[in-house]
Amino acid sequence: MSGVNEIRSTFLKFFADNGHEIVSSSPLVPRNDPTLMFTNAGMVQFKNVFTGVEKRHYQRATTSQKCVRAGGKHNDLDNVGYTARHLTFFEMLGNFSFGDYFKERAIELAWKLITKEFALKKDKLLVTVYHTDDDAAALWKKIAGFTDDRIIRIPTSDNFWAMGDTGPCGPCSEIFIDRGEHIWGGPPGSPEEDGDRFLEFWNLVFMQFEQVTPEQRLDLPRPSIDTGMGLERMASILQGVESVFETDTFRHLVEAAASALGQGPGKDNIASYRVIADHLRASSFLISDGVLPSNEGRGYVLRRIMRRAMRHAQLLGASEPLMHRLVWALVREMGQAYPELVRAEKMIEETLQQEETRFRKTLDRGLAILDEKSAGLKKGDMFDGDTAFTLYDTYGFPLDLTQDALRSRGIGVDLVSFDDAMERQRQKARASWVGSGDTASEAIWFPLREKLGATEFLGYETETAEGVVGALVRDGAAVDQLKPGESGAIVLNQTPFYAESGGQVGDLGVMLGEGVRVRVTDTQKKAGDLFVHLGTVEQGTLKAGMALQLDVDHGRRSSIRAHHSATHILHEALRQVLGDHIAQRGSLVAPDRLRFDFVHQKPITPEELARVEDIANNVVLENDEVTTRLMGVDEAREAGARALFGEKYGDEVRVVSMGKTAREHGQNALGWSVELCGGTHVRRTGDIGLISVTSESAVASGVRRIEALTGNYARKHANDAMQLAKNAASELRAPLEEMPARIAALMDERKKLERELSDARKKLAMGGGVTGTFLTSEAPDTADFRGQVGDGIILVGEVRFFRRSVSGIEMKDLKSLADEGKRLVGSGVVAIVNTAGDGKAGVVVGVTSDLTARYNAVDLVRVASEALGGKGGGGRPDMAQAGGPDGAKANAALAAIEKAMAGA
C-alpha cells in the first residue's frame, strides 16, 4: 500500500469507517470565499459550516481536496523545484468534525491511522503544539506516549492556523517525521528547521475561533476539527523517497517529459523537470476548473505558473512547445480520482499549447536580454529593476520568472526600481484616460479601476459566489455606504454577474450580507473591465469592505444563454442559406428574445427563412457540447472564427464553438459555428430547446434584421399562434386545416358582394328611390322628358337641373354618375351630393357642353361646398367637385345651386 492512489483511498476509507462522510473535492476557485485566490486547504469548502451559517446532513467529513498555493496568502511558487516538499498544486487529505469530536478524538484517530494503517515508526515521529495549548500537549503524552522533548511548543503563527485574513481559525498541532541524519535540517523551532530532514506531513487544527475582521475574533459556536495531510508528502514517506518529486505520480510525469524531450534528467537539470511536473499539475487543474491565462488576478497567477514551466522547458532544450504533450500522462495518473481532468483534457492541451506558442515568440529575445544585462553580475548583486520591468512589459516575463532565472546565481532583482517603472507606466495610462474625453460622471471609473484592478468575472463557471465590496458610488461620487432604499453602483473584487457587452444584456439578481439585501437591477462594464452593479439596498446598510453572497437570477441567465447560443447558430445558418457575404452588424441577446442584424441586400424569402430555421434546429437537436477556448486573435481568425466587423479585440479572445455536422464535412476543425465571443452560453446545444424566427425586416440600406425566440419563449409564441388559429377556425366553424380555403372563399365572396352593392347603390342613386331624396319644391312638369328620365329633375327657368342627394357612393364613382346624369338630361346641369359614413359630404357638378358659356361647374360647386360648411372646390367648367364637413346640409347645398342657377 504505497501508491498515491492507494494512500488516498486508504485515508478516506479509514475515516469513512470511523463515521465520516466522504465528500468530493471542491473546485480550485472558491465559490464561498471572496478573499481567497485559490482553494488552499481542505477546510475551505466547509468554512460556513464551521461558523454555523451553513448546515450539512453530516457532522463528520473526510476529503481529498485539490489545493493550489500560489499567488495568495499561502504562496509556495518560488520554492517549487528547489526543495523536496514544496508544490504549487497538491492534494490535501483531511478529516473534519463540525462541533462533533474535538482534540482528544482527533489526536486518537490521527495516531491510529499513522501508526496502524500507515505503520510509521513511533520513534521517528514528533509533534508541535501552540505554546499555550497545554491540553494538546497532555493529550499527545497520553495517547502517543510522547516524552516532553517530542512535543515542541511553538509560539508563532506556524501553530495558529488561519485560512486567510478572516475566517475560522485556531491553534494547531503538526506531526513531523525525522527522515534521518543524512538529510540536512533541524526539528521545528530550531535554526535549521527549513531543511528537509524533519518533514511536517499532517496538521491538526483545533478550530475554535472566527476571525471576523483583522481586529475582531469570535468563538465558534462549537469547537471543531480540521486536519490536513499532504498526500504527496505522505507518499514520499511511505515510498521511502526523500522528495515528493520521487513519488510514483511525479516519477511518471518526469518520465513523460523526458521521453517528449528525448533526454532524461541529470543532476544539473532535475529542478527543471520538477518545475515542469508540478506546474503541469497546477496549470491543468486550474484550467479544468475554468481559470484561463490572463494579465490579472487568478488568470495571471496561472500565466506565471505556465510561463515558469515554459522557461524551464526551454532550458531543457525543447525546440517545440512541450507542456501540452504531457497532459495525457497527467490524465492517466490522476484522471480516475478527478474526472474533471478527463473532461477538460482537450481544453487543457489547447490552452497550454496556445500559451507556449505565444510565449516562445518573445522568450528567446527576453532571455538574451536577461543574459546580457546580468552578465557582469555576481552572487549577492541586484539585477536592474527597469530591465526586469521591460522583460515583464514587453517580453511577457512575470517578475517571478526573472527572479527564478537569476536565483541559481544568487542574484536578486531590484524591486524598488521595478515598482518605480511600474508606477511610471500607470501614470502614463492615467494621463491617457484623463484626456479620453469621457464625461465627468464616467471619469470616476478610471481611478477606481486603477485602485481596485479589473473585476474578476466568475460567471462562466458559476452563478453564485462571494465577493467583497471594493467601492460604492452614488450620484457620480464614491461613498462609504448605501442606506436602506438608496440606489447606487457597487464594485466588487469578483463577481458572477455578467456585465452588458457584445449584445448580451447585463445580469440581474441579489446580493446578501449580514442583514443586508441588495437587488441588482443591471450590470455594466466601465473603464474596460470594471464590473459595475447597479442596485437598490432593500434591507440593511451596505458598506464598503463587506463580503456579500452574490446570486445571479438563474432562470433569466439560463434563458440569456439559450438566446446567445441561438444567435451564433442562426448566424451560421444564415450564412449557409444566403451566402458568405453575411456579416454581423449588431445583435441583442436578452432573456426573452434575440435580434441579429447582418449585411444582406434583399429581403429573405419565406422559403429561405424556413431553411435557416430548419438548419438551426437540427444543430439544437444534435445536442453537441458547446466548447470555449482561449486563443490569440490571429490564430482564432485563422482557425475560421467569425468576428464582429470593426470590433476591437484584446490579444486573447474566447472562441466559442458548437455543432458537429460541419466538423464531419471538414469545414472547420473547431466546430460548425465558431465565433469570437465573451458571452455566456449553454453547455450543450440541446439546452436551447427550440429556435423560432419571428420576424425579418430591413433596418438600414443593405442591413437586414431577424428576430427570434428560444426555448419556452418560442414554445409559448407557437402555442399562442396556434390558439389564435383555433379560435379563428371555431369562429368560422371549420376544421383548422380547411381555414385557408375557407378564408379565400370568404374573401372572394366579399369582393363579389362589394361589387354588387356598389352597382346597386349607383342604380338607386340614378333612379331615385330609397337613397335618392326628392326635394319638396320638385315640379317635373315638362311633358317631353317626364317618364324618360324619371324623377329628380326640375326646370330652373328653361334649364334642366338634375340633382340627387345620395349616400354610400365612392367618391371616384360620383363623377361617372354625373356623366351619366348629363347623358340623361341631354342639356342641363347635374349636381350630386354624396354623404359618407363619417357624416362628411362630397359634391360633383356637371354642365353639358352647350351650357358652359352660361354656367361654370366650378362656380356652382363652390356654392354647394359653402352650404356644406366647406371651402373651394375645383375642376373644369363642365365638371367640378368639392367637399364639406356637414353632410346633413345636402339638400341646402342643392338648393343653393338652384338659386345660383336662377340668379345667373
Which stretches of the chain bind ligand SER, using CB under 6 A?
41-43, 94, 161, 203, 205, 226-228
Inter-CA distances, 109 with 113, 117, 146, 230, Å:
6, 11, 16, 17
Residues 706 and 571 sit within 8 Å (Cβ to Cβ)? no
The least distance separating ligand SER from the CB of residue 467, rounded to whole angstroms, comes to 23
How far apart (Å, rounded) are the C-alpha atoms in residues 18 and 112?
Answer: 11
Q: What does DSSP assign to residue 659?
A: -
Count of CB atoms situated within 10 Å of the CB of 665? 9
Residues 6 or more apart in contact with residue 789 via CB below 8 angstroms:
802, 824, 825
The least distance separating ligand SER from the CB of residue 141, rounded to whole angstroms, comes to 22
How far apart (Å, rounded) are the C-alpha atoms in residues 777 and 792?
Answer: 10
Q: What does DSSP assign to residue 718?
A: H
Write phi, then psi, for 55 (nearest 5 degrees).
Answer: -110, 140
Order of strands across the sheet that contains 673-676: 627-632, 652-658, 673-676
How far apart (Å, rounded) are the C-alpha atoms in residues 636 and 694?
Answer: 32
Q: What does DSSP assign to residue 194?
A: T
Residues 6 or more apart in contact with residue 631 via CB below 8 angstroms:
350, 354, 639, 641, 652, 653, 655
Q: Which is nearer to ligand SER, 171 or 870 (CB)?
A: 171
Q: Give me the numbers of helices (H) and strands (E) for the chain, helices first please.
A: 25, 35
HEC assignment per residue over 35-95: CCCCCCCHHHHHHHHHCCCCCCCCCEEEEEEEEECCCCCCCCHHHCCCCCCCCCEEEEEEE
How far apart (Å, rounded) are the C-alpha atoms in residues 422 and 478?
Answer: 26
The least distance separating ligand SER from the CB of residue 41, rounded to whole angstroms, comes to 3
Scored b (16 or more CB within 10 A) or e, 11-49 reads: bbebbbebebeebebbbbbbbbbbbbbbbbbbbbbbbbb
Q: Which is nearer to ligand SER, 93 or 257 (CB)?
A: 93
How far apart (Å, rounded) are the C-alpha atoms in residues 400 and 459?
Answer: 29
How far apart (Å, rounded) are the C-alpha atoms in residues 840 and 288?
Answer: 78
The least distance separating ligand SER from the CB of residue 207, rounded to whole angstroms, comes to 9
The least distance separating ligand SER from the CB of residue 210, rounded to whole angstroms, comes to 14
Q: Which is nearer to ligand SER, 206 or 250 (CB)?
A: 206
The least distance separating ligand SER from the CB of residue 454, rounded to whole angstroms, comes to 29
Q: Which is nearer to ligand SER, 94 or 188 (CB)?
A: 94
Q: Which is nearer to ligand SER, 45 or 692 (CB)?
A: 45
The least distance separating ligand SER from the CB of residue 66, rounded to whole angstroms, comes to 13
Closest CA to 683 of 266, 290, 98, 170: 290
Type of residue numbered 630: L
The least distance separating ligand SER from the CB of residue 42, rounded to whole angstroms, comes to 5
The least distance separating ligand SER from the CB of residue 38, rounded to whole angstroms, comes to 12
Q: Which is nearer to ligand SER, 94 or 828 (CB)?
A: 94
Query: What is the residue-wise DSSP string for 337-397?
Result: T-HHHHHTHHHHHHHHHHHHHHHHHHHHHHHHHHHHHHTT--TT-EE-HHHHHHHHHHH--
Q: Which is nearer to ligand SER, 73 or 430 (CB)?
A: 73
Residues 540 and 531 sit within 8 Å (Cβ to Cβ)? no
Write phi, then psi, for 689 (nearest 5 degrees).
Answer: 85, -65
Q: Which is nearer to ligand SER, 24 or 425 (CB)?
A: 24
Strand partners, 153: 129
Q: Which is nearer to ligand SER, 224 or 657 (CB)?
A: 224
Residues 662 and 668 sit within 8 Å (Cβ to Cβ)? yes
Q: Which is nearer to ligand SER, 205 or 570 (CB)?
A: 205
The least distance separating ligand SER from the CB of residue 427, rounded to whole angstroms, comes to 40
Q: Which is nearer to ligand SER, 41 or 612 (CB)?
A: 41
Helix, strand, or coil (residue 592):
coil
The least distance separating ligand SER from the CB of residue 45, rounded to whole angstroms, comes to 12
Residue whose C-beta lies closest to ligand SER: 228
The least distance separating ligand SER from the CB of residue 85, rounded to whole angstroms, comes to 13
Residues in the chain: 904
- Grid cell for residue 185: 535540517
Q: Which is nearer to ligand SER, 45 or 834 (CB)?
A: 45
The least distance separating ligand SER from the CB of residue 227, rounded to whole angstroms, comes to 5
Q: Which is nearer to ligand SER, 61 or 897 (CB)?
A: 61
Q: Which is nearer to ligand SER, 161 or 433 (CB)?
A: 161
The least distance separating ligand SER from the CB of residue 32, rounded to whole angstroms, comes to 15
Q: Which is nearer to ligand SER, 39 or 523 (CB)?
A: 39
The least distance separating ligand SER from the CB of residue 163, rounded to whole angstroms, comes to 7
Beta strand ranges found along 608-660 (DSSP E): 627-632, 652-658
Q: Which is nearer to ligand SER, 189 or 502 (CB)?
A: 189
The least distance separating ligand SER from the CB of residue 94, rounded to whole angstroms, comes to 5
Residues 6 or more apart in contact with residue 372 via CB below 8 angstroms:
none
Percent of the chain that is helix, strand, coil (3-state, to 5):
40, 25, 35
